[in-house]
Amino acid sequence: MSSRSRRACTKRRKGRFSRGTVQKPSWTKEEEEKLHRVVKEFGSNSWPSVSLHLKRSEGECQRQWQQIKNPELVKGPWTQTEDERVIDLVQNYGVKRWSLIAKHLLSRNGKQCRERWHNHLNPAVKKSGWTLQEDRIICQAHSMLGNRWADMSKLM
């Protein structure tokens, strides 16, 4: 059986079979202002200290900081040139060194590069229509695994 990406499994389950999902609350304006103050005090490499003051995880704080403070970070559609560059860099560095790959791209962060590869560029990921058998597998897997989409995608 051919593989499906974690993202494809997530979208399929949530989009076709779910009645709704719980999402983390968005950042408030007050939280963003506090993030600015705390990062100014502790620096942008002290995420454990920053997160203690904001009652958010280190990852949430770092991601939010990148979103509001890095004007060069592209958040829109990927270009053909960027896709080609990611493919070349993955061939050079493999699929584990996303921060290094992002440094060569400049306008994207490691998470964006990783998700682009695993959800769109990886030639092993199946992109054709879903079969009835795959729908059954994803429903059964979701009842056993919950929202562990990466584990579920390995069954596809």
Ordered per-residue pLDDT tens for the chain, 156 residues? 557 887 777 767 655 554 443 446 789 999 999 999 998 898 877 889 999 999 888 888 988 887 777 666 788 899 999 999 999 999 999 999 998 999 898 788 899 999 999 999 999 888 889 999 999 999 999 999 999 988 888 887
- Can you tell me the distance from the alpha carbon of 116 to that of 122, in angstroms, rounded to the nearest whole number? 8
Residue 81: strand, helix, or coil:
helix
pTM > 0.85: yes or no: no
- Can you tell me the distance from the alpha carbon of 143 to that of 66, in angstroms, rounded to the nearest whole number? 35
- Can you tell me the distance from the alpha carbon of 151 to that of 58, in angstroms, rounded to the nearest whole number? 24
- CA distances (Å), origin 153, targets 15, 71, 75, 125: 16, 34, 26, 10
- Can you tell me the distance from the alpha carbon of 71 to that of 44, in angstroms, rounded to the nearest whole number? 15
